[in-house]
Amino acid sequence: MRLFNTKKKKLVAATIAAVSIIGAGAVAANAAGDTGCKYLTYPLCARSVASLQVVDNSLGESDLTPVVREKLNKVGTGEAGPAGPAGAEGPAGAAGKDGVSGLAVDGQLTAVPKGFSTLKLECAAGKKAISGGVKWDSGSGTPADLVLNGSYPTDVAEADGAATATSWTVALTNNDPKGEIKVHPFVTCATAN
């Protein structure tokens, strides 16, 4: 009878050991989620890499699976959400500088001798020259006798990164064989800030 009990005990012990081994394998496979690596145990994760082993910027798109790449490429491609509510009105801005005022055109009939001449027209004190030119006087010579060589601002000064002029110069050549002709040079001046 004692012999029978010993065999029975060995059989029970062997059954318990077999169930434990099979159960432990099933638990390990279940814990790993059939991926082989959920709890980072060595046998299950022999070919995996944890975040501690990845150096910043060391993985590229080619290192990822096609499924992961597809999901990443969809990020940010959804529809825009509705517009948010309008914000509060901001404070009023500072007043701007005054614009142009006191516009005036000045100039008088001037006799120009034969050959090259320059005519300089000044703006009144405190005003800036913003344009200028010359008009041929119909009472002397012909328009073909007058050659305009230049029309440009003079007495130019720079302030706050902007150049301004207080006069205008007209350069011209009188080709009238009779001599002197009359022209009307002009300058447009304004108070400008």
Model pLDDT for residues 33-71, shown as the tens digit of each residue: 455 555 555 554 555 666 666 777 777 777 778 888 888
**Domain annotation covers residue 53:** no
**Domain annotation covers residue 27:** no
9: tokens are 């005990």
* Percent with pLDDT over 90 in the chain: 32
Of 135, 117, 122, 131, whose CA–CA distance to 179 is shortest? 117
| Overall domain count for the chain | 1
The C-alpha atoms of residue 120 and residue 118 are separated, in whole angstroms, by 7
Higher pLDDT, 98 or 128: 128
Indicate the burial class of 151 (C-beta count within 10 angstroms; 0-12, 13-18, 19 or more): middle
**Domain annotation covers residue 188:** yes
**Domain annotation covers residue 43:** no
pLDDT at 7: 56
Task: Please state, rounded to an integer, the average pLDDT across all residues of the chain.
Answer: 77
Give the contacts of 21 (CB within 8 A, at least 6 positions apart): none
pLDDT at 9: 53
**Domain annotation covers residue 32:** no
Q: What is the pTM of this model?
A: 0.49
pLDDT (tens digit, 9 = 90+) per residue, 102-126?
A: 888 989 999 999 999 999 999 999 8
**Domain annotation covers residue 174:** yes
pLDDT (tens digit, 9 = 90+) per residue, 5-36?
A: 555 555 544 455 444 454 444 444 444 445 55
List the domain range (segments joined by +) for residue 183: 108-192
pLDDT at 60: 77
The C-alpha atoms of residue 100 and residue 190 are separated, in whole angstroms, by 6
pLDDT at 23: 46
**Domain annotation covers residue 73:** no
**Domain annotation covers residue 72:** no
